[in-house]
Structure 1
Amino acid sequence: MEWLSAMNRAIDHLEANMTQKLDIEEVAKLAFSSPFHFQRMYHMLTGVTVAEYVRRRRLTLAAQEIMSEVKVIDVALKYGYETPEAFSKAFRKMHGMSPSTAREPGTNLKAFPKLSFHISIKGDKDMDYKLIEKDSFKVIGKTKRITTHDGENLKLIPLFWDECMADGSYQRICSMAGAMGVFGICMDFEPNYEAFTYMIGVEDNGETPGDFSPAEIPAARWAVFESIGPMPGAIQKVWERIYAEWIPATGYQQEEGPQLEVYPVGDVPAPDYKCEVWIPIKK
């Protein structure tokens, strides 16, 4: 499968250039992808961002050199750290000790292995989807900046929903919901995909409460996937299948821009609750 070869080619390039500045555009080209699509795809498949993978691999390789009695300052500069202090801080965060302590006999260090992509045949059910062309539209709602570091987004987004339900924001949003219902929107991604803004909102009806933020969803061609089951587990599984199964099988790429979760007003924890994932795509 060409997709599989392309992703592994990108990983090989990262590994061969660990001491060089990360050029995400060059890496994405090797995977026949845009930088946005490659980084989003990579994170969804591996659970870490490209930048975080490179950081962990560099610190893994750096630890091996530290144990070989190479000078700390030389190792720090080799792996892109401007000062020994910055290197020591990052080293301690990953390995739980300073570089000098790592040289002591019997020290336990952490190793983050090189990743590779493989085909996994699961025999799962078909993945139904539909394509929709939709003009731009405006939304309003409550927003929160979310980090993807160490998979924190999977925890922070459900917590944000809980916060909005506890302070009454969700109830106010539901009272303003139109035909499509309530949106969960991922938007304003950082270039390295390590953070984005998440909005719980609705289509703008012309009245924006003072504590709500406005945004515009650009016109796009959307791939729409149905999720059936209690939140948030059901929709998280749909997201995983989109990147692990649907995109490799169809040849579509995700366009840069907002991504939508569309929640009809209803019994969200119910086992038969239906909602949708919308991603902007191109062939």
Structure 2
Amino acid sequence: MEWLKRMNRAIDYIEANLDGEIELGEVARMACCSTYQFQRTFSFITDVTLAEYIRRRRLTLAALELQDGGSAKVVDIAMKYGYESPVSFARAFHALHGITPAMARQDGIALKAYPRLSFLITIKGAEAMNYRIETKGSFDVFGIEGVFRTDGSGEAPQTPAQLWERHHANGDVKRLEARAGELPSFVGQYLHPVHAVCSYRKTGPDTFPYMLCAFKDEASDTDGYTTVTIPAHTWAIFPSEPHTWDQFGNTIETLYRRFYTEWLPTAGYEQVDGVEFEMYGAKDGLNYVELWFAVRKA
């Protein structure tokens, strides 16, 4: 399938450049998506970040070179695989293999090898996925925006979850709710006024925007907030079952994972620039969430 071909093409590029510079923009271009979208997809499918995969593969190849009996110096191998000094290389090597690079030259020493990834379709079972496809015109949202690095670094808040925590604690979410207008007719009856939208504009190759948002209408008070127009899209919408608050993390994680690992590779659709909504609500006295993914026919 075309989705699998693109993902494997991106892995081919990474593998061909493990001993050189890997441009995340080129990786994403091979996969026909944004850098944030590729890294997010990769993490959900593999349970490891793209940066960690590259680190493991480079240290696997470095160990093979140290064991092959050649005359290459440790410092040269360190530089080859992207480490600025033998010290940083030795630290990373020991963290992965449990031994120093010098010890890796010894006959019979135990090392770890992480093989190249390949993306395939696998049969996981017959559990149904509830979803619907809806086309909606453009609409406006407004709210509190954060821009985050894809590797989770930078100044706090470093993650969308921390953004939620901060603005719940200081009352900003309640204030945003009070300034929201009526929910538009095209959203579900179970939804609250405040939601979240992700990747609705480009912020840089290694960053993405995330906004705690409300829908804008004539009654909304948007003063002091960031306002964004969401273009017309086709949306793949995945609703959760009602759940208690302690089940929320696992529920939303499962929805995301099943979208990336089960639905997207087989449905004949592709994401549009990674645009996503997290819609929150309540149903039957329990919590409820819908994930909206902007998609188009592949």
Which TM-score band applies after superposition, normalised by the shorter structure?
A: 0.7 to 0.9
Q: Does residue 221 of structure 2 align to residue 206 of structure 1?
A: yes
Q: What is the TM-score when the length of structure 2 is the normalising length?
A: 0.72
Question: How much has 1:53 moved relative to structure 2?
Answer: 1.8
- Paired residue for 2:53? 53
Q: TM-score, normalised by structure 1?
A: 0.75
SS in 1 for 2:4: helix
Q: Deviations over 1:38-68 (max 9, x none)?
A: 4443232123343432222112221332345
Are 2:296 and 1:282 equivalent residues in the alignment? yes
Residues 48 and 149 in structure 1, CA contact (< 8 A), matched pair in contact too: no
Output the CA distance in 1 between the equivalents of 2:25 and 2:194. 35
Q: 2:276 aligns with which of 247, 259, 267?
A: 259
SS at structure 1 position matched to 2:93? helix
Q: Percent identity?
A: 35
Aligned length: 270
Give, in whole Å, the separation in 2 of the partners of 1:46 and 1:179.
40
Q: State the partner residue of 1:226.
A: 239
Q: CA, structure 1 residues 47+186, in 2 after alignment: closer, same or farther (shift >3 Å)?
A: farther
* SS in structure 2 of the partner of residue 18 of structure 1: coil
1:119 corresponds to: 121
Tell me: CA distance 1:142–1:20, structure 2 relative to 1, closer, same or farther (3 Å): closer
* Aligned equivalent of 1:44: 44
C-alpha distance in structure 1 between counterparts of 2:107 and 2:166, whole Å? 48
Q: Give the CA deviation at 1:221.
A: 0.6
- Offset at residue 136 of structure 1 (A): 4.6
- Partner in structure 2 of residue 165 of structure 1: 168
How far residue 149 of structure 1 moved from its aligned partner, in angstroms, is 5.8
Gaps of 5+ in 1: none
Do the aligned partners of 2:24 and 2:205 also contact (CA within 8 Å) in 1?
no
Q: How does 1:1-283 map to 2 (within 5 A)?
A: 1-24=1-24, 27-28=27-28, 31=31, 33-36=32-35, 37-68=37-68, 70-92=72-94, 94-95=96-97, 98-100=100-102, 109-121=111-123, 122-141=125-144, 143=146, 145=148, 147-148=150-151, 157-158=160-161, 160-180=163-183, 181-187=193-199, 191-192=205-206, 196-203=208-215, 205-208=220-223, 214-223=226-235, 224-230=237-243, 231-256=248-273, 258-264=275-281, 266=282, 272-283=286-297
Q: Aligned-pair distance for 1:87?
A: 3.1
Paired residues of 1:130 and 1:225 also in contact (CA < 8 A): no
Residue 143 of structure 1 deviates from its aligned partner by 3.5
Deviation at 1:125, TM superposition (A): 0.8
Whether the aligned pair in 2 keeps the contact of 1:137 and 1:217 (CA below 8 Å) is yes
Unaligned runs of 5+ in 2: 184-192
